[in-house]
Chain A
Amino acid sequence: MATAKSNVAARIMISPAVLLLLAWMLIPLSMTLYFSFLSYNLLSPGMERWIGFLNYEYFLTDPAFFSALTNTLILVLGVLIVTTIGGTLLALLLDQPIWGQGIVRILVIAPFFVMPTVSALVWKNMFMNPVNGLFAYVAKSVGLPPFDFLAQAPMLSITGMVAWQWLPFATLILLTALQSLDREQLEAAEMDGAGPFSRFFHIILPHMARAITVVILIQTIFLLSTFAAILVTTNGGPGYASTNITYLVYSQSLLQFDVGGGSAGGVVAVIIANIVAIFLMRMIGKNLEA
Chain B
Amino acid sequence: MGSITLSNVKKAFGDTVVIPSIDLEVNNGEFVVFVGPSGCGKSTLLRMIAGLEDTSGGTIAIDGQDVTDLSAAKRGLAMVFQSYALYPHMTVRKNIAFPLKMAGLPAVEVDKRVAAAANVLNLNDYLDRRPGQLSGGQRQRVAIGRAIVREPTAFLFDEPLSNLDAALRVNMRLEISELHQTLGTTMIYVTHDQVEAMTMADKIVVLQAGRVEQVGSPLDLYRNPRNKFVAGFIGSPKMNFIDGEEAAKENAATIGIRPEHIELSTESGRWKGTVAVSEHLGSDTFVYVNVDGVGHLTARVEGERPVSHGDTVWLSPVAGRIHRFDAQDMTL
Q: List residues of chain A with CB under 8 Å of any chain B CB.
A: 182, 184-185, 187-195, 198, 202-203, 206-207, 209
Contacts and interface: CB of A to CB of B under 8 A. Distances in A.
User: 6 closest A-B pairs (Cβ-Cβ)?
Assistant: A192-B99, A188-B85, A184-B85, A206-B89, A193-B102, A193-B73
Contacts of A191: 50-52, 72-73, 77-79, 99
Contact-size category for B: 20 to 34
Nearest to A198: B102
B146 interface: yes
B87 A194 contact: no
B103 interface: yes
A184 B102 contact: no
Nearest to A194: B102
Contacts of B79: 187-188, 191
A189 B102 CA distance: 9
11 contacts: A184-B81, A187-B52, A187-B79, A189-B98, A190-B71, A190-B73, A191-B50, A191-B78, A192-B98, A192-B146, A206-B90
Given A187-B79, A188-B87, A193-B103, 16 more contacts: A182-B85, A184-B81, A184-B82, A187-B85, A188-B86, A188-B146, A190-B72, A191-B52, A191-B79, A192-B73, A192-B146, A193-B150, A194-B102, A203-B87, A207-B88, A209-B89
Contacts, number: 60
A223 B133 CA distance: 38
**Which interface residue of B78, B81, B85, B90 has the most chain A CB atoms within 10 A?**
B85
B102 to A, nearest CB: 4
A192 B72 CA distance: 9
Does more than half of chain A's interface fall in helix, strand or loop, or is it mixed?
helix
A76 to B, nearest CB: 27
B81 A202 contact: no
A185 B85 contact: yes
A203 B103 CA distance: 16
A194 B73 CA distance: 7
Interface string B215-230: 0000000000000000
B83 interface: yes
Nearest to A209: B89
A135 B218 CA distance: 74
A282 B77 CA distance: 43
A185 B79 CA distance: 11
A185 B78 contact: no
Contacts of A182: 83, 85
A244 to B, nearest CB: 36
B107 to A, nearest CB: 16
A195 B98 CA distance: 12
Given A190-B72, A191-B77, A202 B82 contact: no
Interface string B57-96: 0000000000000011100011101110111111000000
B81 A188 contact: yes
Contacts of B150: 192-193
Contacts of A207: 88-89
A190 B102 CA distance: 10
B160 to A, nearest CB: 12
Interface in B118-171: 146, 150
Nearest to B50: A191
A194 B98 CA distance: 9
B87 A187 contact: no
Nearest to B75: A191
Contacts of A195: 73
Nearest to A183: B85
A63 B259 CA distance: 95
Contacts of B50: 191
Interface string B35-69: 00000000000000011100000000000000000
B89 A190 contact: no
Contacts of A209: 89
Contacts of B73: 190-195
Interface-central residue, A191, A193, A203, by most chain B CB under 10 Å: A191
A195 B51 CA distance: 14
Contacts of B82: 184
Contacts of B88: 207
A174 B83 CA distance: 24
A193 B103 CA distance: 7
Contacts of A184: 81-83, 85
A202 B98 contact: yes
Residue among A193, A195, A202 with the highest chain B CB neighbour number at 10 A:
A193
Nearest to B156: A191
B52 A190 contact: yes
Interface string B180-191: 000000000000
Contacts of B89: 206-207, 209
Nearest to B79: A191
B93 to A, nearest CB: 15
A9 to B, nearest CB: 36
B76 to A, nearest CB: 9
Contacts of B77: 191
Contacts of A189: 87, 98
A190 B150 CA distance: 13
Nearest to B89: A206
B275 to A, nearest CB: 46
Contacts of A188: 79, 81, 85-87, 146
Contacts of A192: 73, 98-99, 102, 146, 150
B52 to A, nearest CB: 5
